[in-house]
Structure 1
């Protein structure tokens, strides 16, 4: 009995974290943040190219852009039901798999393009492999933990 209670608590903790969503009105906030950040990147690159803190400002705008997309992504729909939850999970699944595949293929595409214009092509590897490693590791551990908790239920 105590083991079942502990498993239920564990499942509730994970569902509380993974099931968290912002209210629907945050989609507008995310969209505004994304658009402002996108315009800022273009403006900074064009008008403030030689400014001392150009790199910092571009990085700040890129962070705002990603944060805006994240806010849109985790905001609820006006009507949130099981179908929407399933569609959301499938879209996250496709997004992660697609990102990993594109990220792994891009260095080879880049090499092919560079090789066609250069006599000494150099293969540049992906710079943020650690991010993909962390993402996939968290997914695997979370999946295993949830699977174990639900199977013991």
Structure 2
């Protein structure tokens, strides 16, 4: 009997509102614990989901898979500008939905956790944003969801 697999299966029966990162950490379920921390951040800052396509290595894209559990922190051109009128790049971590990583040239639905959430509040579904790991574009994403409705109190806005 695989006890860890059994515990993982049992954890799926726990209601979402009572599941905690501490329980996942005690069970040494690192990805599950990271997911709980990620969702906690989304509760505070809002949810941004996008359909991301990475450039292929043959087109100058990355040559190794992008970690899917919030480790990669690329820059994004989300339409903001510097005072001089140049494109401003904003940083956000990536969580790949339904996969541990995103292969070079691959495509997946991702969640973004901005370093400065307020700078991202103008995003709307359908908007195209670009990912940068260097000066060149590393990937292109279409915003699927930009939900900040529960964060108004955090920002002191109405």
TM-score by length of 1: 0.22
Tell which has more relative contact order, 1 or 2 (C-alpha 8 A, sep 6+): 1
TM-score by length of 2: 0.22
Larger radius of gyration: 1
* Structure ranking higher in strand proportion: 2
